[in-house]
Structures are given as structure tokens and as C-alpha cells.
Amino acid sequence: MGETLLSVGIDIGTTTTQLVFSRLLVENAAGAFSVPQFAITGKELLYRSPVRFTPLLSERLVDTQALRSMIAGEYAAAGYRREQIQTGAVIITGETARKENARQVLSALSGFAGDFVVATAGPALESLLAGKGAGAEALCRRENRPVMNLDIGGGTTNLALFQEGAATRTGCLNVGGRLVKLSPEGRLLYCSPVLRPYTNYQPGELLPPEERQRLGDFLAEILEKALEGEPIPPGFVTDRVLPAPREALLSFSGGVAQLMQELPEEPLAYGDLGAYLARAILRSGLCRRDYRLAPESIRATVLGAGSHATALSGSTIFYRGISFPLKNLPVAALPPEALQLSGPLLAEEIRRRLGLFDREQAVLSLRGTKAPGFGELCRLADGIALGAEDALREGKALILALEADYAKALGQALGLLLPGPQPILCADGLALSEGSYLDIGSPIAGGQALPVVIKTLAFQA
């Protein structure tokens, strides 16, 4: 028999904020005589909030108090109290993640559950979360072909390429429905600086329907060119451009994808270019390729949270220069076959995986290799040290979670390759998957063990 957890997912985006309450079934997937391994085996959707506009004090500040009141109101509408929530996730995304008070917003909202996964998602992490939530990862496995997910929101389009059932690359463009804000009668209220050079209309002027559609067509053309690998204006590149392989299936999610499924009768219903951009995409070359609209398009980014499993790290650990405790570290998981690569190729794979979490301190998960011999250990250490150079230059720590028990030996080898102040932590006995988050407590048992909490996000799709 398993147990159930009451979970909430809160997504605070550029344009909209929404909540989803779910009941998760958590069961021990290990055998009777094995170390327990808990997994989410079922999920029941209990309540979806209406999709509401994210309240802002200005273009640079989120209205924290109004946001708290909105979320408290949704708790009441759902019939749940904060103390009933056992697990959850607060993810702040898009342009909202770049507001001056984004961190304060997250801090103010963390009290809406016990031990949340709380993250300010940069472009790469948001792309990964949206692609998983839209079902692109599962679609890639099911169709046995590459899938490119385009999560088109208010301020940005997040791109995630899935190949062989896993995310391989991400990108982000300044393309979204809310780059222009309009009054109910069609007067220009706001135009994003990135789009300002491409229209002659000024705030307060009436923006005629043909100009709205022209701007929508222009944005769709940027998306099409980007996916075809053609040059686009540099101001529209937030993170990086990500061309789609010709054989890739396109998947659309986000608020604009929701409008692609059902165009509103009144194009100005949301006071922006969303409906015009959706219409333009449907007429563009993007939709002449094989494509799918995500079943949960507007709710793709994060729709819940998973089980929190508390454990101790394995038989050995190594750490230096680490300030404990560490909270909400996203996991960058290396595929098992990557550990067999030569040093330079392993380094490139590590660089790419850590790049998915460019704004976050991430944990690099190594699975599928038994305790290596001396030569193999040196090859692994060389590849890891080389692959982590960019992260170390950015002031991040090198944090490794190993499935097999060789953390101390690997940590000592890395300590020789990375002398000086670079912080290093190696823990073993941990089989982590991408989409998980890790908490690491202060060392116990005379510094010989680390308590860890593994958190796994659960997506609807």
C-alpha cells in the first residue's frame, strides 16, 4: 500500500498566474529486501484555478501583496488550507523571473506549503520544465523521433529539443503575445523595447487591426526563421537560437498555443497580440510541418510536485568549501552511456547538461557505473573537471551525486585537479533523475554522512 500526498503547483509567469491542486499516490518501487525507492505511481487532479493576470506594480516590479491575496483566494476556492499541503512547487518564469523583486516574491509565497520546490527559472530551466509539462519528452519516446517544444507565452518563447527520450538542448527568444499591450478599444498602452523599432505607432495611438496582425506575422516569421536556422535580429535572442532538425515533430504549448486551439471571437479579449500571433503561426510554415498542440498547453510549465524522500548519502562522501545546508538544487542527469566517453567528449556532455541550468546551482547526477578502477577514475575526473570549468568560473560549486559508492575517491581526484578555493561535494548512493531537486543537510556522524531530501516534480502531461 502507498500513501497519498496533497500537492499544489504555482506558476507565476510573464502574463498569467495559475494554481493546480493534485493528490499524488506514492509507493515503494523496490523489493521487500531492498533499500526503499519511492516513486509517484498515480496523480489525481483536484482543482485548477482560473488563469489570472500576474499583478504588477510596474514593468519592473511584481505586486507581491496582490499576488499573495490572489493565491490565498484560490486556496479558499479550492477548499484547502495552507497547513494541509504536504508538498508543492512555486516556479517563477518568463519576464517575471527577471523582475527586480522576483526573489522576494518567492520568499513571500514559500509559506503556502511546507517544504516546496522553489525556483526562479532562467530560460534554460523554464524551457526544460515547459517541455516536460507539455508532454514533449513522453511524445519523443512514443514517436521515436526528435520533438521540439515551443512554449509561447506573454514575453518569451522557450525552446526545448528532446532526442532519444531526453532533453538535449534549449533556447529562448523574445517572442510572445504580450510584447504589445492594448486597451479594449485597441489603443497602444505598451510596446516592448525589442519590438519598438518595428512599428511607428506610439503609446496612446489607436493601433489598427491590420497593424496588429502585421506585428503578429512578424513575430511568427522570427520563430519560423529561428527554427530553420536562418538569421534573426539579435534583440530577439534571449538565451540562444535553437534550430529544429528537419525530422523533428513540433510541439506547441503556452498561452499562445491555447489560442491556437481555439481563437477567441474578439481578438482583443486579452489586451495583447496573443490572438494575432496564434493566427499567424497557424498560417505559417511552422504548421506546414508535422506538429502537435499540447493537451495542457497553458499549464505546461509546472503542474504539481512529487514525493520528498529523505535518505542518507552512501558509504563515502567528500566535500570542501561547502556552506550547508543546500536547498532546491536542480538535478542535471548524465545518461549512463556518457560515462563511457573519452575525457573531452564527456566534458562536452557535462557542459551541455549543466548549461540547461545556467542560472541555478545544479547537481550533476552520475548513474550506471560501478566503482571504477584507477585509470577509469582518472578519466572521469579529467572529463568532469573540464566540463565544469564554466560553472566554476561563474562561482558555482561542483556538486556530484553518484549512484555507485566511490564519492570519496572521485572527490579526492577532483580535489587534485581543481586546487584552491573551488568548492566540491561528492555524495554517493543516490540515483537521481532529471526533473528532481535535492536538499543537502549539514554533515552528521562526525562528518561521515549527509542527510538528503530528494524532490521530484510531477507533470500532468
pLDDT of residue 30 exceeding 80: no
Domain 3-121 sits in CATH at: 3.30.420.40
pLDDT of residue 409 exceeding 90: yes
Q: Which residues pair with 259 in a beta bridge?
A: none
For the stretch 412-427, pLDDT in tens is 999 999 977 899 999 9
By mean pLDDT, which of 34-38, 159-163, 298-302, 438-442 is the weakest?
A: 34-38
Same fold, 3-121 and 125-293: yes
pLDDT bucket at 32, cuts 50 / 70 / 90: low
Could you give the CA distance from residue 72 to residue 88 in angstroms, rounded to a whole number?
15
For the stretch 153-206, pLDDT in tens is 888 999 999 998 888 888 999 999 999 999 999 999 999 999 999 999 999 999
Thinking of the domain 125-293, which architecture would CATH place it in? 2-Layer Sandwich (3.30)
Confidence (pLDDT) at 200: 96
For the stretch 216-246, pLDDT in tens is 999 999 999 999 999 999 899 987 899 999 9
Which helix (H) or strand (E) is 39 found in, with range?
strand 38-48
pLDDT of residue 461 exceeding 50: no
**Encoded amino acid at 221, one letter:** E
DSSP 3-state of 362: coil
By mean pLDDT, which of 287-291, 379-383, 401-405, 445-449 is the weakest?
A: 445-449
Angle at 308 between CA 307 and CA 309, to 5 degrees: 110
Burial of 343 (0-12, 13-18, 19+ CB in 10 A): middle
Which helix (H) or strand (E) is 295 found in, with range?
none
pLDDT bucket at 44, cuts 50 / 70 / 90: confident
What's the whole-model pTM score?
Answer: 0.75
The distance from CA 272 to its chain's CA centroid, rounded to whole angstroms, is: 25
The distance from CA 399 to its chain's CA centroid, rounded to whole angstroms, is: 19
By mean pLDDT, which of 30-39, 219-228, 250-259, 260-269 is the weakest?
A: 30-39
pLDDT of residue 117 exceeding 60: yes
Q: Which of 22-26, 129-133, 380-384 has the highest mean pLDDT?
A: 380-384
Per-domain residue ranges of the chain: 3-121, 125-293, 308-456
Could you give the CA distance from residue 121 to residue 128 in angstroms, rounded to a whole number?
10
Q: What is the mean pLDDT of the chain?
A: 85
pLDDT of residue 212 exceeding 60: yes
Confidence (pLDDT) at 164: 87
From residue 34, give the alpha-carbon distance in Å to each of 9, 11, 28, 432: 32, 37, 10, 17
Confidence (pLDDT) at 444: 77
Could you give the CA distance from residue 129 to residue 115 in angstroms, rounded to a whole number?
19
Question: Which residues, at least 6 apart from 257, have a Cβ–Cβ distance to it below 8 Å?
Answer: 150, 151, 152, 278, 293, 294, 297, 298
Beta carbons of 263 and 200 less than 8 angstroms apart:
no
